[in-house]
Structure 1
Amino acid sequence: MKRTFLWLEKNLEPIFIVVLFFAMTLLISLQVVLRFGFNTGFSWAEELARFIFIWIMYFSFSYATRNQAHININLFINQFKSSVQKALLILADLLFLIFSIIIFISVIRVSLSTMEYNIKSASLDITMNVMYGAGVIGFLLINLRLIQNIWWKLKNVKQPIKSFRERTGLDRENIFTRSLAKEEKK
């Protein structure tokens, strides 16, 4: 069970990204064949592909957050000694977390409003919360990944600055996987 959790913690977003990307590619390819080969097609395929793309995008944001792969400019931070750089990196993560929480609350409000007014998609005739749910799940995962990153940095403040800027989060041990691995050995 714990091994499964550890594996999912590392691979949750990539699994969804790959499965959704495959489904979107298959759907669009089928639509192209139907349009150009048989002069027909599905009226809902473009909208569904757009919804799938939005879900892929939010899972990708979460994955980039987990791996600390967002674009950043280090010119200013590099001017300081290592301990100040670490503090600034933690502060940047905290500010990003505050921003993400605000967006998460806003997306929940939009989803509730969509539910209240029963807003539906144009061609699929399903609730638009299928699309807005991507933002809710995406920002929930982003917030969890940011908390993991901040927690790891606070617990490992004595690590070299390179580990704070690690780009391969899959290889970097975080506090949750470490504690679960210790429990598993018992």
Structure 2
Amino acid sequence: MKIIKKIDDNFEELLLMLLLAAMAMVMGVQVVARYVFNYSLTWSEELTRYMFVWSAFLSISYCTKKQISIKIEQIVSMLPTKLHAVFKIIEKAVMLVFFVYMIKYAYNFVQASVLSGQISPACRIPMYFIQVAPLVGFILTIIRLIQGLVFEFKVLVSGN
């Protein structure tokens, strides 16, 4: 059970840190190759771009888990605890509806990519590996929204 809790608490952070470290390493190798060896790597920019796309979609789930978003937090925080929980429930429910709606389109996007058989020009990676990022990000976000809704319902019921 502790392992599942650790994964639940740190999954997005771990993936985002690994992607950031990999992007920095690839671009560092590219800079050294270009300026020290006078040789440019053809795949480094493309790979870094794909890792950035993945990090963008994973960060949606991370921000949802940490409740980091653009909203009127000062006004909401002045509300009584139960009203604050109601506002959070409505907010999360609207977001949940949106991401559930988007799953269909993300899935269709990946399915079209698989059927096309397209591969990336420099890295020769099947494009569906990159284009599955929205689907994975949306699914993780839905999981985090459900967790947030459960928490807010507990706050609403307990009044704390």
TM-score relative to the length of structure 1:
0.79
Residue aligning to 1:172: none
Shift of 1:148: 0.4
Shift of 1:125: 2.0
Residue aligning to 1:13: 12
Residue aligning to 1:122: 121
Residue aligning to 1:67: 66
Counterpart CA distance in 2 for 1:66 and 1:74 is: 16
Counterpart CA distance in 2 for 1:5 and 1:80 is: 34
Counterpart CA distance in 2 for 1:41 and 1:87 is: 55
Aligned residue for 2:121, secondary structure, equals: coil
Partner letter of residue 29 of structure 2?
L
Where structure 2 has 5 or more consecutive residues not aligned to the other structure, the ranges are: none
Aligned length: 159
Partner letter of residue 99 of structure 1?
F
Where structure 1 has 5 or more consecutive residues not aligned to the other structure, the ranges are: 161-186
Residues 145-154 or 85-94, more deviating: 85-94
Going by fraction, where is helix more abundant, 1 or 2?
A: 2
Structural RMSD (CA): 1.7
Counterpart CA distance in 2 for 1:75 and 1:8 is: 31
Aligned residue for 1:156, secondary structure, equals: helix
Residues 87-96 or 123-132, more deviating: 123-132
Partner letter of residue 71 of structure 1?
I
1:151 lines up with 2:141 in the alignment: no
Shift of 1:81: 4.8
Deviations 1:78-125 (A, max 9, x none): 686543332122011000011111122211110001111112222222
Q: Is the 2:47–2:123 contact (alpha carbons within 8 Å) kept by the matching residues of 1?
A: yes
Counterpart CA distance in 2 for 1:86 and 1:6 is: 24
Q: Is the 2:85–2:155 contact (alpha carbons within 8 Å) kept by the matching residues of 1?
A: no
Residue aligning to 2:109: 110
Partner letter of residue 117 of structure 2?
N
Counterpart CA distance in 2 for 1:79 and 1:3 is: 35
Counterpart CA distance in 1 for 2:66 and 2:45 is: 31
Identity %: 25
Counterpart CA distance in 1 for 2:78 and 2:23 is: 45
Residue aligning to 1:83: 82
Q: Is the 2:85–2:153 contact (alpha carbons within 8 Å) kept by the matching residues of 1?
A: no
